[in-house]
Amino acid sequence: MDSKQFKEAAASAIDEIVNYYDTIEDRRVVSNVEPGYLKKLLPEGPPQDGESWADIQKDMETKIMPGLTHWQSPNFMAFFPASSSFPGMLGELYSAAFTAPAFNWICSPAITELETVVLDWLAKLLNLPDCYLSTSHGGGVIQGSASEAIVTSMVAARDKYLRETTSHLSGLELEDAIAHKRMCPEFQHLTAEFEHFHSFDMNMHKWLLTNFDASCLFVRKRKDLIDALSIMPSYLRNEFSDSGLVTDYRDWQIPLGRRFRSLKIWFVLRTYGVNGLQAHIRKHIKYGEVFAGLIKSRPDIFDMISGPNFALTVFKIATKSGGKPEQDKLTKEVYELSNKRGEIFLTSGVVEGDYAIRVVSANPLAEERFLHKAFKILVATTEEVRDGKTVENGINGVLKDYKGVGDVAIEKENGVTV
């Protein structure tokens, strides 16, 4: 593929991506393929001769797309979001074009220095203590995931312990799944006193419109990471690293190579600005309050367990009679049937021994109308299951002519509006 062919293929791919986002609410949220479906559709080995982009792109829609669960769908209300945005996608495109592993400063000074600047921006935006800034003894580094950040911090804490031979691990790691709420001043009082922790990690790729992966680890003392993870074989030596005046992020992580992940964060922060990101979070928290209000409006059907807590509502199905085992059984049946039909995607959990349904209203494309639809589907499904009138292709006349998201018609049944 030469540059002219790339330009044409890229334009076609972007058109497909835009169309995907424009129509995503009309797609079944959860894939309903059987395990091993793709192996049956693809040849045993790669082609001997190259194929046209048109043929490859066609296979994307006919072979790959049916096996995707659509995390960006506004009807995806299961986990905290793996959010994405067009500015983030553009950052990934540039990063792929440059493809510079950037394990030390000289390999691409801009990649190292932009990461330092962007993570200082983020630390200030989250109102973190000054000890986490690069101008202090600490600083930030982008990891692949919170799990990677925790392991990295544990390695540094272990080595620090072994060096100092103290009686306990001195490094305390805080991983906050929804630290993004600190971005809004009204929520900062609810978080821990971060200055007491040696490291702190948060995922930009959850709530802050930056596509996976972008996990931001902040440390109070960067020396602890460097002492544990630094390597300096002869082939990596250079005058800038030897001078001690530059940052080599390979010494802040377990892998050697690293991606240009700060670029997409930079694009997102500049495109949305502080006010835009704050509005994004506040909107989703408000949606959580709206959905929780709907659940509370039907105490004959639902029992609230917790929430709304930062766009998360947890509830179980109310029973007309019977004890906890019956309630757990009913809640599980409603949850499983709702997901099986593919209109919405939820998750479940066990809270203090009670089986529960979890609904998250923080999807990047979330709108209030989708929460109302999810509520109506849950009401209809619950009434169907409780009354023992489950049908395969619809919810007892309430979801008429079931075809998928966008074709659902919520109607009146027996004079009751659901």
Is the pLDDT at 411 greater than 60? The verdict is no
Better-predicted residue by pLDDT, 410 or 174: 174
Look at the chain and report how many structural domains it folds into: 2
Q: What CATH number does the domain containing 208 carry? A: 3.40.640.10
Once rounded to an integer, what is the mean pLDDT over residues 290-301?
96
Is the pLDDT at 406 greater than 50? The verdict is no
Does residue 241 belong to any structural domain of this protein? yes
Does residue 126 belong to any structural domain of this protein? yes
Residues 118 and 243 in one domain: yes
Residues 227 and 196 in one domain: yes
pLDDT at residue number 191: 57
Is the pLDDT at 412 greater than 50? The verdict is no
209, 227, 259: which is the final residue of a domain?
Answer: 259
Residues 222 and 109 in one domain: yes
pTM above 0.75, yes or no: yes
pLDDT at residue number 404: 33
- Beta-carbon-side half-sphere exposure of residue 72 (alpha carbons within 13 Å): 17
Which band of pLDDT confidence, cut at 50, 70 and 90, is reported for residue 140? very high
Task: Give per-residue pLDDT as tens, 217-258.
Answer: 999 999 999 888 888 787 788 877 777 788 999 898 998 889
Is the pLDDT at 416 greater than 90? The verdict is no
Does residue 265 belong to any structural domain of this protein? no
Residues 107 and 150 in one domain: yes
Does residue 55 belong to any structural domain of this protein? yes
Residues 239 and 210 in one domain: yes
Distance of CA 383 to the CA centre of its chain: 32
Residue percentage of the chain with pLDDT more than 70: 87
Residues 112 and 181 in one domain: yes
Is the pLDDT at 396 greater than 50? The verdict is no
Does residue 386 belong to any structural domain of this protein? no
* Of 86-90, 146-150, 227-231, 234-238, highest mean pLDDT: 86-90
pLDDT at residue number 326: 92
Angle at 317 between CA 312 and CA 323, to 5 degrees: 130
pLDDT at residue number 197: 84
Hunting for tokens 């109310």 — which residue is that? 318
Is the pLDDT at 180 greater than 90? The verdict is no
Q: What is the amino acid identity at position 114?
A: L
Which band of pLDDT confidence, cut at 50, 70 and 90, is reported for residue 393? very low
Which band of pLDDT confidence, cut at 50, 70 and 90, is reported for residue 403? very low
In angstroms, the CA 284 to CA 267 distance is: 22
Task: Give per-residue pLDDT as tens, 312-368.
Answer: 999 999 987 778 899 999 999 999 999 999 999 999 999 999 999 999 999 999 999
Once rounded to an integer, what is the mean pLDDT over residues 387-413?
41
Nearest to 373 by CA among 341, 333, 350, 328: 341
Does residue 323 belong to any structural domain of this protein? no
Which band of pLDDT confidence, cut at 50, 70 and 90, is reported for residue 105? confident
Is the pLDDT at 189 greater than 90? The verdict is no
pLDDT at residue number 407: 29
Is the pLDDT at 102 greater than 90? The verdict is no
Residues 206 and 248 in one domain: yes
Which band of pLDDT confidence, cut at 50, 70 and 90, is reported for residue 173? low
Task: Give per-residue pLDDT as tens, 370-380.
Answer: 999 999 999 99
Distance of CA 95 to the CA centre of its chain: 20
Residues 114 and 152 in one domain: yes
Does residue 197 belong to any structural domain of this protein? yes
81, 114, 148: which is the final residue of a domain?
Answer: 81
What does the block give as tokens for 21?
A: 């986002």
Residues 119 and 251 in one domain: yes
pLDDT at residue number 194: 72
Does residue 189 belong to any structural domain of this protein? yes
Nearest to 79 by CA among 173, 184, 185, 212: 212
Q: How many residues does the chain have?
A: 418
Residues 220 and 77 in one domain: no
Task: Give per-residue pLDDT as tens, 5-53.
Answer: 999 999 999 999 999 999 999 999 999 999 999 999 999 999 999 999 9
Q: What CATH number does the domain containing 76 carry? A: 1.20.1340.10
Residues 28 and 129 in one domain: no
Range of the domain at 183: 101-259
Residues 111 and 251 in one domain: yes
